[in-house]
């Protein structure tokens, strides 16, 4: 239980730092938010709990393929906001697009030999 609390605290602090910086410096906050902090922290926690190179390689490889379908969201949301769509609607549509693309990758990926 202590490990879960520690993981949660460290992860939460990283998110708080990114959002706090973004209020004053949107570009710098975006840079911090774009860092693969969740992925890196997740790999660290996974390695500490199960130091298996094959498992880690599978995890990192699958993470790459799941990052790709999330990227269009970061183009759709600003486009919608700039065209007068409200934040919550734009965010919801961006998330819906990402879910659809995740499902597509999950369905198509294995047909091309991707281990997801």
Q: What is this structure's pTM?
A: 0.76
CA proximity to 38, closest of 16, 65, 11, 60: 11
**Over residues 20-35, mean pLDDT:** 84
Please give the Cα distance from 107 to 105 (Å, whole number): 5
pLDDT tens-digit map of 58-113: 999 999 999 999 999 999 999 999 999 999 999 999 999 999 999 999 999 999 98
Domain ranges of the chain: 1-51, 52-116
Helix boundaries (H) for the chain: 2-24, 26-34, 37-49, 53-67, 73-82, 87-108
**Over residues 2-12, mean pLDDT:** 84
């Amino acid at each position: 239980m202590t490990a879960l609390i520690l993981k949660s605290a460290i992860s939460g602090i990283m998110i708080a730092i990114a959002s706090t910086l973004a209020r004053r410096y949107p570009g710098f906050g975006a840079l911090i938010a774009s860092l693969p902090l969740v992925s890196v922290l997740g790999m660290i926690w996974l390695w500490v709990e199960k130091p298996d190179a094959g498992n880690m390689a599978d995890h990192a490889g699958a993470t790459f393929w799941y990052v790709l379908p999330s990227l269009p969201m970061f183009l759709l949301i600003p486009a919608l906001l700039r065209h007068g769509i409200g934040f919550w609607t734009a965010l919801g549509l961006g998330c819906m697009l990402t879910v659809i693309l995740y499902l597509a990758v999950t369905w198509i990926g294995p047909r091309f030999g991707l281990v997801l």
